[in-house]
Amino acid sequence: MQNLSLGRELMEEEMDAKVLQMWSRKEINSSRFYLTGYEPILFNKSKDFALESVLASVIPWDKELLILNPERMEHTHEIDNLHPEAVVHTLSHDDVRTMESLISSRRSVAYLLINQPEELASDLNLLDRILSLVRRNRMTLIVNCDKTARGINDIFMGAIDFMIGSLDDMRSFVMARRSKLVGIEGNSRKLNLDLHAFWQLCLRKRNAIIEPMVS
């Protein structure tokens, strides 16, 4: 677990501002970020490693993954950590008609990975159609961001379940919906890519003096 480190509050104090700017345009106190229902996990590894951890831990063997803009992935070896029999589909992010047809005809397509989702910010109508598909079909939404991203969760109107981001070549992070993290315990295909275990390590290092959640 030496691949991960966490500071006293959200992550390492000097990184809080960068991560929060990528996540939201709103002002968020890092020490109270847990009230949003999301959990931050910081890796002293490249973004490839963070993405591999999400894909290896989140997607069960009997579900299918749809990847939008696969050409925007820096590498494609991340999908090798899926189950050997996993079915992966690839489309351009603006091919919504094919996306709708695929999801309606193959009910096992339950996970959507969008690479460099910043491009969707300029076409809110297209984004709304994609998010409508996600909501109607109760899909898990994963976004793989460039390090110049800003306010991605705001742009996606809170629909993101897992966001992968990069701070520099050897520091990356995952923002994960807590309710989704709870459900992936024991799912990882590889011990060194166990996102749930990384999260648990984060919790042990975090400031223990926190306010109770408000329902």
pTM score? 0.86
Average pLDDT score over residue span 58-77: 82
What are φ and ψ of residue 147, in 5° steps? -70, -10
Per-residue tokens: 179 = 């309710």
Which pLDDT does position 76 carry in this prediction?
61
Question: Which of 200 and 207 is assigned the larger pLDDT?
Answer: 200
Which pLDDT does position 213 carry in this prediction?
47
Mean pLDDT, the chain, rounded, equals: 83
Q: How many CB atoms lie within 10 A of CB 195?
A: 26
Which are the contacts of 203, defined by CB distance < 8 A and separation ≥ 6? Answer: none
Which are the contacts of 29, defined by CB distance < 8 A and separation ≥ 6? Answer: none
Query: pLDDT tens digit string along 126-173?
Result: 999 999 999 999 999 999 997 778 899 999 999 999 999 988 888 899
Which pLDDT does position 75 carry in this prediction?
60
Helices and strands, counts by H and E, the chain: 7, 7
Query: pLDDT tens digit string along 1-37?
Result: 444 443 344 555 556 788 888 999 888 877 778 888 9
Domain boundaries of the chain, sorted by first residue: 13-205
Tell me the CATH architecture of domain 13-205.
3-Layer(aba) Sandwich (3.40)
Alpha-carbon gap, residue 90 to 66, rounded angstroms: 6
Q: Is the dihedral of CA 80, 82, 85, 86 positive or negative?
A: negative
Which pLDDT does position 2 carry in this prediction?
43
**Cβ atoms 84, 38 nearer than 8 A:** no
